[in-house]
Structure 1
């Protein structure tokens, strides 16, 4: 089942689908988990067959092996997929880490659509650490192991540090993004530099921060467009120009989220959700790393 998910062109030339299926959150493996999780394989395979072409993985999720199996079992040509992975645990040896990632994904080479991200900036003791690891990322791209490289969970100071010495600019910055965490100047900086913003946790106002100022409006718009409230939040993120990553273990939800392709919010509706969202601040992930009042 093919779908026409819109794409955004990265500076590397790759076309990244604006809606992606993530293999973290719902599928994240706990330390010590062994063996193949067939539920993960089944869900990712179903997502691909339903029309998702952007698959978001990471070394830290522990699901790269399942993702690789699902890609094989889906029957969809590899060149039709945009597969992302991220390095975190293997940050001390990025070249070794990406080789291990490719082995788990069962990919003999990294093609035009592969993106490789530094998962977080928190390993760094200072700017030199960030800059040296970014140089290693550049080597991975120059060696043909990754056709695009980027960062995840980087705020403005982290980006400014690596850009001082970078030869290759990050293609993407993947961050938690929803009405209660809009990041303000960070998005402006990313867009000015030609860095595409990817957002994870788009359903946070429904799943973790229910009872907030956007609830009533989102419910009303869901009725107006005959879609779920989750689809409204996904559409808001996409309409803000953010590549949006979502996930679910339920087949009906996986299909339901594709409803974002069937409608578009008006500019006023997007602006109203944004304005209401600014009345509440909520960060679902990396709370211990960012200040509780972080609004950057």
Structure 2
């Protein structure tokens, strides 16, 4: 697949496709709930990840929290694709108190010398602005060491970003957040990030099709998908990409990868993009960290 690239503020580029708009990344979080020692599941993840790589999904979105790093490493090795052709994102959560040790362990598990992008997975570890700044200083040191070519954050709200920026020499290159037509984030947050040269990554981007299928986009998505001869998932991925957001999508079914790849073959009209945005904005549906937000909080 000929995947477009999105430029990061540090001069590096991230694939805008790996199952997410302008960067469709193949997420490996499908194994988050695996049982330790479940060899059948582990082999299945190896096979699925290897198949994704062979289909051209060269952006692999990983995380310490998912517990799948060893399988990803095996899949990469067995795929035979040179490391320099891959874009590997990883995230630290459990190891936040010793990020340097955490990245060393993750690099060993995935069998690589560096990550193309390394993120702080969640902001909830911090009790003060100083906590954000201390963690970020460590991330900057990791970037200087060459163990991560670009560094960023995930699930950060604007106050978390602002606290981090106060002590940052190299600001975050990207913030990966839940972003889809039913959670476009309030108060112009996505535009604010992009205006500050912090790119946006999306997870749970297919929520309107799979997690809230009876929402107000049900008819428009079906109609637009039929007009382009693709699935609703491909339409949603294309919508994300049109918003210059990196899309990360997970699946447990190999056939879904071909379905998602249809997003690269279509071009939504301005009217279709606007309709998805406007209709989606009338509805609110959050899938992650709901316990930390009021029912209609769209931040």
- Residue 61 (structure 1) aligned to one of 59, 62, 66: 66
Aligned to 2:278: 275
Cα separation, 2, equivalents of 1:34 and 1:195: 39
Measured against aligned partners, the alpha-carbon deviations of 1:200-226 in whole angstroms (never above 9, x if no partner) come to 101111211121111100000110000
Mapped to 1, the partners of 2:235 and 2:245 lie a distance apart of: 14
Taking the aligned partners of 1:139 and 1:90, their CA distance within structure 2 comes to 16
Q: Which residue of 2 aligns with 1:8?
A: 6
Counterpart Cα distance in 2 of 1:254 and 1:82? 17
2:194 aligned to which of 174, 191, 195: 191
TM-score, length-scaled by structure 1: 0.95
State the match for 2:20 in structure 1.
none
Give the Cα separation in 2 of the matches to 1:91 and 1:34. Answer: 25
Q: How many residues align?
A: 289
CA contact (8 A) 1:29 1:63 kept: no
Give the drift of 1:280: 0.7
Instruction: Please say which of residues 223-232 and 181-190 is displaced more in the overlay.
Output: 181-190
Per-residue deviation at 1:132?
0.8
- Which residue of 195, 205, 208 maps to 1:205? 208
**Structure 1: gaps spanning 5 or more residues:** none
Contact 1:27 1:61 in 2 (8 A): yes
Shift of residue 75, structure 1, vs aligned partner: 1.2
From 80, 84, 87, give the equivalent of 1:75: 80
Task: Write the deviation string for residues 8-35 of structure 1: whole angstroms up to 9, x where unpaired.
Answer: 01122222111110001x22134x5225
Partner SS, residue 172 of structure 2: coil
Residues 221-259 of structure 1, C-alpha deviation per residue, up to 9 Å, x if partnerless?
A: 110000011111111111111110111111111111101
Q: Which is bigger in relative contact order (C-alpha 8 A, separation at least 6)?
A: 2
> Does structure 2 conserve the Cα–Cα contact (< 8 Å) formed by 1:247 and 1:254?
no
**Residue 169 of structure 1: which of 165, 168, 171 is its match?**
171
Q: Does 1:44 align with 2:49?
A: yes
Report what 1:110 is aligned to.
114
Query: 1:162 is paired with a residue of what secondary structure?
Result: helix
Tell me how far apart the structure 2 counterparts of residues 157 and 118 of structure 1 sit (CA, whole Å).
15
Give the deviation of 1:42 after TM superposition.
0.7
The answer for the alignment partner of 1:28 in structure 2 is 32
Mapped to 1, the partners of 2:182 and 2:232 lie a distance apart of 15
Q: Does the alignment pair 1:133 with 2:135?
A: yes
